[in-house]
A and B are shown apart, each in its own frame.
Chain A
Amino acid sequence: MKQIVPALLPAILLIVLVSVLAPDGNIKNDWFRFIGGFHPLVVHFPIALILFIPVFEIVGHFNTGLNIKPSVEIIIKVALLASIIAPLFGWALAWGDGFSGGIVTSHMWAGVLVPLACGILLLTHQKNWGLLYVIMLTATIGLVSWTGFLGGQLAHGRTHLTAHMPDNLREILGIEKPVSIALADPNTFFGGRVAPIFAARCVTCHGPDKIKGKLRLDSYALLTAGGANGPVIAPGNSDTSELYRRITLPIFHDEFMPAEGDPALSEDEIKLIALWIDQGASPDVTPDAIEGAPVFDTASLPVEVVVPDYDPVAAAADRAELANAVVEIQEKFPHILTYVSRNTGDLDLNATMMRGNFGDTEFALFEPVLGRIVRADLTATSITDQSAPLLLRMSNTTTLRLNQTTIGENLVLELSNLSSLKSLNLLGITISNDTKTLLTQVENLDHLYME
């Protein structure tokens, strides 16, 4: 009796406490919430101590020289003490911070049973009941692990251990991939657009497993039922809706949601919720019934940029046919004829660098490569209508700059119909209004520059 009372009494008192003052989902005095905040910190002491017991037993069994077995009793005693303190903090957290829900209850009961198990473990150790002691030790460790697992689910969500399990391991263990619970009909505005926001951002704390402030957001009925302070939405009026007020407070405000340092809902998400409330917060309206609702499924996703890899072999093959002709021209006119890129045989003609020194005679020498020139800048060169037959053969040219040349408007009109042309620059060329009208009607052109 002298041993039984101190071993079991505190545990029993703890059980009485949590039965009488069971957490009811209402937020209480700040002192409870403050003390409760230490629960995740304190809780690791009993866990570590209890796990020390088998380590000492096993090591002591095989290595008698160390003589560590006598320490086991004191470890069990300290573990017992720690396992009484930790649930006290936990109770303060759940009681003070307004927790309720399935996992909260399971976690709490598992937690308050730990000191009881520790007390019995201590007795079986003191009485030297070998087999019973081993069984009790196994049971205590199992109970502690289970409690810890439930605690993890509360803090990090129900699937915190299995969410990122590799698929092949999942198959072996027969664990199904977690699927998001269908909250409501996805073919309604609420089910398809609003509920997914709640599911992603709110339900960890306002769902079946953990219910803070008596509010659950995992179904329409529960949402409209409201929380500890009454309804959270006022259909038709987002401004007087508590839920809307909470998510739009300044991020450092005490009552801001999501709490605990989680980032705010995005502007689009907030707008979407506001629109839905303003339009009556109906569970049935169709997804496209609310005008101006922001769309954010694909638009905000990052756009990955893929570029063709540098491939000199392919480029050389593409250039082979005209390679000699290009080299010849480049020697005659340095720096003005270049390949568009390392990966192609397409050419870029930049004759404007020669200004007036580039005319019809010079252009004629480019005859062999005309078909591969995709960009031709002839700005301020002395090229004239004499080059018309050559210019009209530039069927792959997408950009043609003829500004400040003396090309006539008839040729310009013909050139505007070059099959690949996208951009044509005619600034400084005198063009009649009739021709201008015709030019603006050319469909291919994305850019047309005229005086």
Chain B
Amino acid sequence: MTLEEELKREALKAHTRRDFLTGCTGALGSLFMANAGVSSAFAAETNPAGPIDFPRNPSSPLSPLPPQFAPKARRVIFMHMAGAPSNLDLFDYKPELERLNGLDTPASFLEGKTFAFIRGVPKLLGPVYPFKQHGESGAWLSDRLPHLSDHVDDICFIKSMRTEQFNHAPAQLLMQTGETRAGFPSIGSWATYGLGTENQNLPGFMVMLSGGNSPSGGTQLWNNGFLPSVYQGVNTRSEGEPVLYLNNPDGVTRPIRRRMLDSLNRLNQANYAEYGNPETITRIAQYEMAYRMQMEATDVLDNRQESQKTRDAYGIEPGKGSFANNCLRARRLVERGVRFVQLYHWGWDTHGDSKASAINEGFKDRCREVDQPIAALLTDLKQRGLLEDTLVVWSSEFGRTPMQENRGGREMAFIGRDHNPNAFTIWMAGGGAKGGVNYGKTDDMGYEIAENPVEVRDFHATMLHLLGFDHHKLTYPFQGLDNKLTRVRPARVIGELLA
């Protein structure tokens, strides 16, 4: 078969039976509707209460669009501690649990409950580290977070989060996409879809990993789901080249790259002229962005451009990929107009089944790895006037049990806690979140929510509110439903958390 024949075949393949049928009925239907004057009913101008549309030129899919109402937060840094740190050893101080430390867990705690690893009757485990109150707000923090404790008056703690999943991957997906299954857009995708991004030379949604492993939810956590692929998170590497294949290969200069891209674009344009698929235009735009990124991304992700003083404040060790590195990069990215930066730090799954996963061992290292960088990030953002309109979120997928884990019903060598989806703590700072707030309460054991429960979807609705959207209005039609981040059950914007 000659090349020409093959091209013809491919062209014919592009017209499927389905295309034909869609064309028939769809076209007839629209003829009717145009005739009957129905089409104008769909126009937003005549339907104020209808959904918001997100019209964009396909050649600039990330161009900024205004939100529904004036936003408090213009950009987001979302830190996710993958594996679920113990809320009971960091933020949720339980003196009553301390008093009952070492006693058998009452049967009422165990009835009807499923645990990942706890079997039989475990012992209650009080706070492993001493707690103290900090700041004017009197927030309780354990001594594992000495740097963060200086910032409590800027922080809005939600101590009454709960989730529906007690395994990492689905719970992480719920936190990041609003659904427990794969295939739904993550918050960052929704934010860039709704708002675009300020800097057209960088992706609008960037992801950085640290802690030695990827979160168990995998790349689905920053996936675009059913949104156009251009809104998916771009993962940068923490060591070596931050973005792969961004640099020109040896012997290829920038002008040569330009000529190559121009040729490619001509081919893509021809393809678009023939089939009219807007994804082709998006693809051209992606190539162009990659070309522009060659200049800007390498530059913005290069922490060496910061002063030694700044790098020391974050606790960055030269030449080492780390959460600290990523925190500084996050600040550099939001400063350059990236809409949504997502940081994952792995290694918080403190079951106590090994030294690394013990609350009295590895947990200390995890805390040390994040405490100083987070505090430095907050200081840095505040000092640069960015905290005013940058929302910082610290979260996880669930909490941990007030019982010491007894894997297989036996006492274990290290101290650990099992998964607890019924109660955990997350916090926000800046970007319109009210500082010095301690919202919600768990019971005396920190086991279940006693006051003001916050569902993940409530938190999502609150985040979108800060970004300037009613969560009902940021929608995308897919499979017959106007899909939204908060999914279908009622969600509440928690007004008590807003500055």
Which chain A residues have a beta carbon within 8 Å of chain B's beta carbons? 250-252, 263-264, 266-267, 300, 302-305, 307-313, 316, 334-335, 338-344, 346, 348, 350, 352-353, 399, 401, 403, 423, 425, 427, 447, 449
Contact present for B495 and A304 (CB under 8 Å): yes
Tell me whether B451 and A309 are in contact (CB under 8 A). no
Q: Does residue B6 face the partner (Cβ distance < 8 Å to A)?
A: no
Which candidate, B59-67, B213-221, B404-412, B420-428, is the interface stretch facing chain A?
A: B59-67
**Complex: A307 Cα to B68 Cα, angstroms:** 9
C-alpha gap A447/B443 in the complex (Å): 39
- Which of B27-35, B45-53, B274-282 sits within the interface? B45-53
Partner of A312, one of B44, B465, B468: B44
B385 near A341: Cβ-Cβ < 8 Å: no
Give the CA-CA distance A252 to B49 in the complex, in Å. Answer: 50
Contacts A305-B495, A311-B48 hold; do A341 and B473 have CB atoms under 8 A apart?
A: no
| CB contact between A251 and one of B60, B63, B444 (< 8 Å): that residue | B444
Interface residues in B106-136 (C-beta closer than 8 Å to A): 106, 108-109
Contact present for A447 and B384 (CB under 8 Å): no
* Residue from B48, B96, B100, B468 within 8 A of A341 (CB atoms): B468
How far, in Å, is B472 (CB) from chain A's closest CB? 10
Which A residues are CB-close (under 8 A) to B48?
309-313
Pick the residue among B69, B109, B383 that contacts A342 (CB under 8 A). Answer: B69
25 contacts between A and B (CB under 8 A): A250-B96, A251-B444, A252-B108, A266-B450, A305-B493, A305-B495, A310-B48, A310-B473, A313-B48, A334-B63, A335-B63, A335-B198, A335-B200, A341-B68, A341-B70, A341-B71, A341-B468, A342-B67, A343-B70, A350-B64, A352-B337, A353-B198, A425-B384, A427-B383, A449-B383
B470 proximal to A (CB < 8 A): yes
Residues of B within 8 A of A447 (CB): 385, 388
- Asked whether A250 lies within 8 Å of B444 as measured between CB atoms, the reply is yes
Looking at the assembled complex, report how far the CB atom of B47 sits from the nearest CB atom of chain A, in whole angstroms: 8
- A308–B69 touching, CB < 8 Å: yes
Q: Is the interface of A mostly helix, strand, loop or mixed?
A: loop
Other A-B pairs, 9, CB within 8 Å; known A250-B444, A310-B470: A251-B443, A266-B450, A303-B494, A307-B68, A334-B63, A346-B70, A348-B66, A350-B337, A403-B385
Whether A307 and B337, one on each chain, are in contact in the complex, defined by CB atoms closer than 8 angstroms, is no
User: How many A-B contacts are there with CB distance less than 8 Å?
Assistant: 104
Asked whether, in the complex, the Cβ of A303 is within 8 Å of the Cβ of B496, the reply is yes
A425 proximity list for chain B (CB < 8 A) = 384-385
Whether A305 pairs with B465 at a CB distance below 8 angstroms is yes
The residue in chain A whose Cβ has the minimal distance to the Cβ of B384 is A427
Report Cα–Cα, A302/B468, bound state, in Å. 21
Whether A427 lies near B385 (C-beta < 8 A) is: yes
What are the residues of chain B within 8 A of A353 when measuring CB–CB? Answer: 198-200, 337
Q: How far is the CA of A303 from the CA of B465 in the complex (A)?
A: 14
Residue in B52, B65, B198, B495 whose CB lies within 8 Å of A302:
B495
Return the contact of B68 from the options A302, A310, A313, A334 (Cβ within 8 A): A310
Q: Which residues of B contact A340 (CB under 8 A)?
A: 66, 70
Query: A344 CA to B70 CA in the complex, in Å?
Result: 9
Residues of A within 8 A of B69 (CB): 307-308, 341-343
Shortest A343–chain B CB gap in Å is: 6
Report the Cα distance A300→B385, complex, angstroms. 31
B70: which A residues are within 8 A, CB to CB? 340-341, 343-344, 346
- Distance, CA A304 to CA B443, complexed state (A): 25
A350 to chain B, nearest CB (A): 6
A338 / chain B contacts, CB cutoff of 8 Å: 64-66
Q: How far is the CA of A309 from the CA of B44 in the complex (A)?
A: 13
The 7 A-B residue pairs with the shortest CB-CB distance in the complex, in nearest-first order:
A303-B495, A305-B495, A305-B493, A449-B385, A339-B66, A425-B385, A252-B106
Q: Please tell me if the beta carbons of A250 and B67 are within 8 angstroms of each other in the complex.
A: no
**Which residue of chain A has the shortest Cβ distance to B443 in the bound complex?**
A251
Cα A9 to Cα B266 with chains together (Å): 106
Residues of chain A within 8 A of B45, CB atoms compared: 312-313, 316
B351: interface (CB < 8 Å): no
* Least distance between A208 CB and chain B CB atoms (Å): 30
